[in-house]
Amino acid sequence: MTGITHGGIMTEIRLYNTRTRQAEPFVPLDPGNIRMYVCGPTVYDRAHLGNARPVVVFDTLFRLLRQVHGADCVTYVRNFTDVDDKINAKSAETGRPIREITDETIGWYHADVDALGALRPTHEPRATDYVGAMIAMIEGLIAKGHAYAAEGHVLFDVRSFDSYGRLSGRSVDDMIAGARVEVAPYKRDPMDFVLWKPSAPELPGWESPWGRGRPGWHIECSAMAHELLGESFDIHGGGIDLQFPHHENEVAQSCCAHPQGQFARVWMHNEMLLVEGKKMSKSLGNFFTVRDLLNRGVPGEVIRFVFLSTHYGKPMDWTESKAQEAATVLRRWRGLVAGIEPAPRPAPAVLDALGDDLNTAGAIAALHGLAAAGDLAGLLASARVMGLLEQGMGDWAEVRQQSDLLEALVQRRQEAKKARQFDVADFIRNELAQAGIELRDLPGGVVEPNTSADQAIQWSQGMTEDELERLKGADGSTDLRALIEAYQQHVARRVLERLE
């Protein structure tokens, strides 16, 4: 048996399967090679915050599977769609070569998801590297009577696949009634979808039995999943917005091309992201990219924590106050685990919560329990299974270093603002400002105290020899960080006394 055990019992993982509409024990097809496919981005622009949710959700599942079954026993594929009309449009608009645009966007994407603490998947295939496999799959579908060529196009015949609609729970006739389907003269049925389409000379294209053209979007994932994971694999994930038509079409293509396989056994869909209770949209002015948030000083680790505080199957409401709370919790935890070695294994309570259909909110509650019980080694090991408190992701917590009393004071000011006691909030801000500690309110609810080193040094000139001795570092000179912290403590105590 592979994997870790606690109390002699291996962590059981149960996952809600969209295909069967129930939570099921997760039993890998091959425990030595658990295979997961997640639909990745179309690379023409920066990832918006909603795009980042599946990245964090399925990264957490990837980490859990590696923890329970062994780090070498999980293959995770997430693709890049690098052939698409939006990319072509951007190229036409800017005059830049397509490859330059897609390479640049992939670089941005990596930088953004790295900042969120997401591990790189095992494979990140680019669609344009698999066009040969797509053509072969389309030829197979035509040979089996599931697809037909017409006017340079190849279309999938949805009426040839009895189970069409099963994943999303709708019948073909309902779909026709409810969807805005493209009616085209070459289609036998309005629901038939494109596997291949002709390309004009100025657009990207590949030679095929149906002339020069390019693949439809859905066939990409079917072909890449087949090449890298085989005819049957364990988990297919993505946002709920992809369930229909994209995932429905993937199932149809793959199950018809490889009827002996099962394609994906478990389908998982994360719900959508809201911002302050509203759907994110450019017209509402609440649309932002991951990079926008990072640039505004919201750390990637904080974004990740906020995402994980809501179960993936529920809509996630991004709010400034959640980001602020997450920053406070993470800063406190980072302070607690400083210098601590992680326990050899995560706490059972955290693994059990994650194993319960990725109950990340429950796992965070269990982390709070470990912190409260003083099990700091357990806290660190358990947080890391969720991609939190990782090394190299905590610089933000150190840069915004603040003493306990200053943190208490900042907290007090936030509470005063919430209670609309603006005189109290202003008093705190002004008193600190006079002492050279400027509070910067960053979007995302993060407050960054900026302390004047000059004023701290000036203050230190009134110190006794003994007091100064305590601020000296290993090399015998005064440690500026320690001095600033002592100064913050001194100023904050004075302001708190005046507030009494």
Reported in sequence order, the residue ranges of 342-456 that DSSP labels E, i.e. its strands, are: 437-442, 446-451
Restricting to residues 322-381, which ones interact with Zn ion according to CB under 5 A? none
Q: How far is the CB of 221 from Zn ion (least distance, A)?
A: 3
Rounded CA gap, 385 and 397, in Å?
Answer: 20
Q: Which stretch binds Zn ion (CB under 5 A): 38-46, 160-168, 287-295, 355-363?
A: 38-46
Toward Zn ion, which CB reaches closer, 26 or 217?
A: 217
3-class state of residue 155 by DSSP: strand
Strand intervals (E) in 346-387: none
Subset of 168-227 contacting Zn ion (CB under 5 A): 221
DSSP state letter for 224: H
> With respect to Zn ion, which residue has the nearer C-beta, 39 or 447?
39
CB of 300 to Zn ion, least distance (A): 25
CB of 267 to Zn ion, least distance (A): 12
Instruction: Choose between 245 and 299: whose C-beta lies nearer to Zn ion.
Output: 245
SS3 state of residue 194:
strand
The residue behind tokens 């909110």 is 361
One symbol per residue from 429 to 468: x for binding Zn ion (CB under 5 A), - otherwise; what is it? ----------------------------------------
Alpha helices in 146-216 (DSSP H): 172-178
Cβ distance to Zn ion smaller for residue 39 or 275: 39
User: Residue 179, Cβ neighbours under 10 Å: how many?
Assistant: 13
Cβ atoms within 10 Å of 205's Cβ, excluding its own: 17
Which residue lies nearer to Zn ion by CB, 222 or 488? 222
The residue range among 32-40, 90-98, 159-167, 484-492 that interacts with Zn ion, by the rule CB under 5 A, is 32-40
Is beta strand 22-25 parallel, antiparallel or unpaired with respect to 14-17? antiparallel
Minimum distance from CB of 404 to Zn ion (Å)? 48
Least distance to Zn ion, CB of residue 160, Å: 21
Number of CB atoms found within 10 A of residue 52's CB: 25
228 binds Zn ion (CB under 5 A): no
Stretch that binds Zn ion, among 18-26, 33-41, 399-407, 454-462 (CB under 5 A): 33-41
| C-alpha R_g of the chain | 27
What stretches of 200-240 show up as alpha helix (H) in DSSP? 217-229
Are 315 and 279 in contact by the 8 Å Cβ rule? The answer is no
Dist. CA 126–CA 16, nearest whole Å:
29
Of residues 39 and 116, the one with the C-beta less far from Zn ion = 39
Run of H or E residues at 366: helix 360-372
Least distance CB 40 / Zn ion (angstroms): 8
Residue 149 buriedness (CB in 10 A; 0-12 / 13-18 / 19+): middle
| CB 145 to Zn ion: min, Å | 24
Residue 341 identity (one-letter amino acid): E
The nearest distance, CB 39 to Zn ion, in angstroms, is: 3
Rounded Cα gap, residues 65 and 88, in angstroms: 38
Say what angle helices 360-372 and 320-337 make with each other, to 10 degrees. 40
Q: How far is the CB of 37 from Zn ion (least distance, A)?
A: 8
- The closest of 270, 312, 301, 338 to 444, measured between CA atoms, is 301
Q: Whole-number minimum distance, CB 405 to Zn ion, in Å?
A: 52
Give me the phi and psi of 400, to 5 degrees please: -90, 40
**Is 141 an interacting residue with respect to Zn ion (CB under 5 A)?**
no
Tell me how far, at minimum, the Cβ of 294 lies from Zn ion, in Å.
26
CB of 242 to Zn ion, least distance (A): 6
Distance, CA of 55 to CA of 40 (rounded, Å)? 8
Instruction: Choose one: 39-47, 162-170, 314-322, 360-368; the region binding Zn ion (CB under 5 A).
Output: 39-47
Least distance (Å) from Zn ion to the CB of residue 75? 17
Q: Which stretch binds Zn ion (CB under 5 A): 34-42, 107-115, 402-410, 420-428?
A: 34-42
Number of residues counted as binding Zn ion (CB under 5 A): 2
Nearer to Zn ion, 228 or 351 (CB): 228
Of 122 and 455, nearer to Zn ion (C-beta) is 122
Q: Which is nearer to Zn ion, 39 or 118 (CB)?
A: 39
CB atoms within 10 A of CB 468: 13
Nearer Cβ to Zn ion (39/370):
39
Dihedral of the alpha carbons of 28, 30, 33, 37, in degrees to the nearest 10: -50
Between 84 and 407, CB nearer to Zn ion: 84
Q: Which of 54, 64, 118 is nearest to 352 (CA)?
A: 64
Nearest CB to Zn ion, comparing residues 38 and 366: 38
39 binds Zn ion (CB under 5 A): yes
- Our CB check for Zn ion shows the closer of 231 and 317 to be 231
The set of residues, in sequence order, having a beta carbon less than 8 Å from that of 500 and lying 6+ positions away, is none
Binding site for Zn ion (CB under 5 A): 39, 221
